[in-house]
Amino acid sequence: MKTTLWGACLAMAIVLVTATDEISPRPSLSFSPKAPYHAVVQPEQRRCKTCFIDSHGDGVTDDSPSILNAFKECNDGGRVVFRKNYTYVIGTAMDWTFLNHIDIDIQGEILFTNDTTYWQANSFKFGFQNVTSFFKLGGNDVWIYGGGTVDGNGQIWYDTHAKDIYTLRPVLFGIDGLHDSVISDLALRYSPQYYHFVANSTNVVFNNIDIAGRSTSKHEAKNTDGWDTYRSDGVTIQNSVINNGDAQLNQHPGPEPLLQRLTRHQRRLAGPVRRHLRHRRRRVVGNVSLHNASDGARIKVWPNTPSALSGDLQGGGGDGRVRNITYSGMVIDNVDYTIEIDQCYGQKNLTLCLEYPSPLTISDIVFERFRGRTSKKYQPLIGALACSSDKACSNIRAEDIDVMSPNGTRDVYCLNMDRTSLDLTCTDKYKGFN
């Protein structure tokens, strides 16, 4: 062991470290092609305190007390370091919404226990679609980075959920009330449900996030969205790779996040609407490549009656509007549907959906500069644009869509849609709707 003095400030701290301990440089952020909707806070380096967290190192014993103590000790101007080559086991639900002006340097691995009974009883409940989380992260001016791994131990949850769809599966990053913060340079693995749930937050940047995880059993990893946002503004997601089992983004009430320079494998890019969604600024989703996915750009809305397939999702009903969204510059590779608007989400009975049209309106949506080829799954269709009434959708445009199915067709199923604004071949026949 050696004694080291980190920096100089009014409240200097002497920290005991090992000869192999290092501090990761804070990531340098650049934004392209768009700048965030709000200026990103660039705080000074945290030089007053540095807390290196010890781990029991046996892969079993709960390290939560040490983690929570470090956060409290080095909050308000300090830095917390999860040591490289260490595995930190978390078996206790922790509230981290008190964090302010702190860097969290995750170099090692954080692993959540597989005690499904404990977590269902003690995880934090968000009051939205049965969302719960291992921990709740919030505060102001929080930077999290370091190149380490956060592992949700998801396999036991995939198997448990297959037996009981009402199992409360925690999200990996539960965020509530986080402001002017950055989460960057992390590998996220095997989340039981969403990888991020971002609620009641403003001006948060996610940069260089590597998401991966799928089931190794016959039970699918379901609802493992990359990000779900809820009543949050100024969220930027960029320079990331998503290889999960569900949506890249599901955006719920609140302004649309900025998505850019993302690479996507499996399933769908975005289903950015459920209900009660309102915003004014034009939002752009651009420079995204999608490979072996089910959907490219997708907007999905519950009908105005409980859906036959809603199950534990509690879907159906609700009003609002979705407007001013541009999906631009997307590369499509073996994707089932290139573009999709679905106002009958979860309802296979089209007659019933049209009988109870959604009061949530969709307007001023642009799909532009798409390139590539779909999968064979729905050919001759390359997409579906379906509104539950002729009043529910307006000014939906598709321009410069250079995408074909493997047999050379570019048909799109159109329902209650103005076909004159679509650079596509509309058809009344559909496949795979819902």
Q: Which residues pair with 143 in a beta bridge?
A: 103, 182
Taking 90 as the threshold, does the pLDDT of residue 433 lie above it?
Answer: no
pLDDT of residue 430: 74
- The torsion region of residue 169 among left (phi > 0), alpha (psi -120 to 50) and beta comes to beta
Q: Can you tell me the mean pLDDT for 320-338?
A: 90
Tokens representing 228?
Answer: 């779900």
Q: Can you tell me the mean pLDDT for 313-333?
A: 80
State the pLDDT confidence band at 280, using cuts at 50, 70 and 90.
Answer: very low
Taking 60 as the threshold, does the pLDDT of residue 169 lie above it?
Answer: yes
Tokens representing 362?
Answer: 């969709």
pLDDT of residue 351: 84
Taking 50 as the threshold, does the pLDDT of residue 8 lie above it?
Answer: no
Mean pLDDT of the residues in the chain? 86
State the pLDDT confidence band at 139, using cuts at 50, 70 and 90.
Answer: very high
Q: What is the 3-state secondary structure (H, E, C) of the chain?
A: CEEEECCCCCCCCEEEECCCCCCCCCCCCCCCCCCCCCCCCCCCCCCCEEEEECCCCCCCCCCHHHHHHHHHHCCCCEEEEECCCCEEEECCCEEEEEEEEEEEEECCEEEECCCHHHHHHHCEECCCCCCEECEEEEEEEEEEECCCEEECCCHHHHHHHHHCCCCCCEECEEEEEEEEEEEEEEEEECCCCCCEEEECCEEEEEEEEEEECCCCCCCCCCCCCCEEEECCEEEEEEEEEEECCCCCEEECCCCCCEEEEEEEECCEEECCCCCCCCCCCCEEEEEEEEECCCEEEEEECCCCCCCCCCHHHCCCCCCEEEEEEEEEEEEEEEECEEEEEECCCCCCCHHHHHHCCCCEEEEEEEEEEEEEEECCCCCCEEEEEECCCCCCEEEEEEEEEEEECCCCCCEEEEECCCHHHECCEEECCCCCCC
Q: Where is average pLDDT lowest: 30-39, 73-82, 91-100, 315-324?
A: 315-324
Burial 260-279 (b: 16+ CB within 10 A, else e): bbbbbbbbbbbbbbbbebeb
State the pLDDT confidence band at 17, using cuts at 50, 70 and 90.
Answer: low
Structural domains in the chain? 84-427 (2.160.20.10)
* 47 or 81, which is more confident: 81
pLDDT of residue 313: 60
Q: Can you tell me the mean pLDDT for 147-176?
A: 96
Q: Which of 43-47, 123-127, 220-224, 325-329 has the highest mean pLDDT?
A: 123-127
How far is Cα 129 from Cα 171, in angstroms, rounded to an integer? 12
Q: Can you tell me the mean pLDDT for 32-61?
A: 90
pLDDT of residue 402: 96
Taking 80 as the threshold, does the pLDDT of residue 201 lie above it?
Answer: yes
**Count of CA atoms in the C-beta half-sphere (13 A) of 286:** 15
How far is Cα 230 from Cα 126, in angstroms, rounded to an integer? 10
Taking 80 as the threshold, does the pLDDT of residue 279 lie above it?
Answer: no
How far is Cα 329 from Cα 286, in angstroms, rounded to an integer? 5
